[in-house]
Amino acid sequence: MKIAIVGAGAIGGLIGARLAAMGTHQVSALARGETLAALQREGWRLTSPDGDVQAPALASADPKALGVQDVVIIAVKGPALQALAPQLGPLFAPHTLIVPAMNGVPWWFCDRVPGFENQGLSSVDPQGLLARHLPMEQVIGCVVHGSAFTPHPGMVLHRMGRGLMLGEPWGGRSPRVQALCEVLATAGFEVTHSENIRHDIWYKLWGNLTMNPVSALTGTTMDHVLADPLLREFCSQAMLEASRIGARIDCPIAQSPEERHAITSRLGAVKTSMLQDVEAGRPIELDAIVTAVHEIGLRLGEPMPAIGALLGLTRVMARQRGLYPSAA
């Protein structure tokens, strides 16, 4: 099998390194800059509690050089995908599986939801560019449950978690997803073949919706956010709003916010990905994690005072730092 990793950062590097170390499949990376140079010079490198991994890497900045793939795993941050998607055509044939291993609400999420048909989500795909260049019939939904970061280009430090959930975007099980699950399980991931990947995406988002932006605003880890009773209650209110939205788009949440807080608390002093991006001066993934939820709620006419305040606060903070586009 030919597998290309688009974006060899923390999550892309984690998946790519484990797949390449198997030696069973041809694993390549579409990368650029210092990451590309590091991969070409030193290969895939991963330090993990499960053991270190190093493997040769076939890497290029040119999709044409990599050619048609069987699987393309997209692991870039949301803000980068708009510019990148039109360049990915040489990687695709009609059989190619496209797996966005990304945070938040994907561009296809509401395509078949009553009232959203053929409209798309302008927050994550403002001109419908992703829908045009990433064929929906080839997309496999994906949720990543793991924590990793890159201390320097081409090197991944894996902290915890090896969970991957894969599923057909509109539910059910399929042979193509099962085959991909088996490949990733052999590479050491804890893989779930989901029958409702939209629900799994929304459930993970339900926690990220608050923890990511609040940690970025406060500059602190999740344990400190949840230790403050006022912040904890604010997060709970936003989560209740998101629960009501989810129930209306066939993504109901069975837990209470406090039950989810208890799970999050067990992770300890974790820096969210959005806080890491702010500290590194990188654009933040605000739109897929918060703006998309706000857009869906607006279209449904749901009251969202907490989500609206969270979006406004984070947007202004990020704009002041040059990490989010200025208002048109």
What residues contact 47, with CB distance under 8 A and at least 6 apart?
155, 156, 157, 158
What residues contact 20, with CB distance under 8 A and at least 6 apart?
27, 43, 44, 55, 56, 57
pLDDT tens digits for range 10-60: 999 999 999 999 999 999 999 999 999 999 999 999 999 888 999 999 999
Mean pLDDT of 253-260: 96
Measured CA to CA, the distance from residue 193 to residue 175 in angstroms comes to 10
Return the minimum-mean-pLDDT range out of 113-117, 198-202, 235-239. Answer: 113-117
For 76, the token pair is 């870039």
Measured CA to CA, the distance from residue 133 to residue 82 in angstroms comes to 10
Under the banding of pLDDT at 50, 70 and 90, the label for residue 234 is very high
Instruction: Quote the Cα angle for 296-298-300, to 5°.
Output: 70
Task: Provide the percentage of residues in the chain whose pLDDT is more than 70.
Answer: 100
Mean pLDDT of 229-254: 97
- CA atoms in the 13 A half-sphere facing the CB of 73: 30
Given a cut of 90, is residue 315 above it in pLDDT? Answer: yes
What kind and span of H or E run contains 218?
helix 197-218
Q: Which residues pair with 53 in a beta bridge?
A: 46
What residues contact 53, with CB distance under 8 A and at least 6 apart?
17, 18, 21, 44, 45, 46
pLDDT tens digits for range 80-134: 999 999 999 999 999 999 999 999 999 999 999 998 877 889 999 998 999 999 9
pTM for the model: 0.94
What is the pLDDT at residue 120? 85
Mean pLDDT of 198-216: 97
Measured CA to CA, the distance from residue 233 to residue 17 in angstroms comes to 40
Given a cut of 70, is residue 303 above it in pLDDT? Answer: yes
What is the pLDDT at residue 56? 93
Sign of CA dihedral 5, 9, 11, 14: positive
Measured CA to CA, the distance from residue 241 to residue 301 in angstroms comes to 12
3-class DSSP assignment, residue 141: strand
Catalytic residue among 64, 77, 204, 271: 204
Given a cut of 90, is residue 267 above it in pLDDT? Answer: no
What is the pLDDT at residue 328? 58
Give the phi and the psi of residue 176 in degrees, each rounded to 5.
-70, -40
pLDDT tens digits for range 149-177: 898 899 999 988 899 999 999 999 999 99
What is the pLDDT at residue 317? 97
Domains within the chain, CATH numbers bracketed:
2-195 (3.40.50.720), 199-320 (1.10.1040.10)
3-class DSSP assignment, residue 56: coil
204 part of the active site: yes
With beta carbons less than 8 A apart as the criterion, state whether 238 and 300 touch. Answer: no
Given a cut of 90, is residue 321 above it in pLDDT? Answer: yes
Average pLDDT over the chain reads: 95
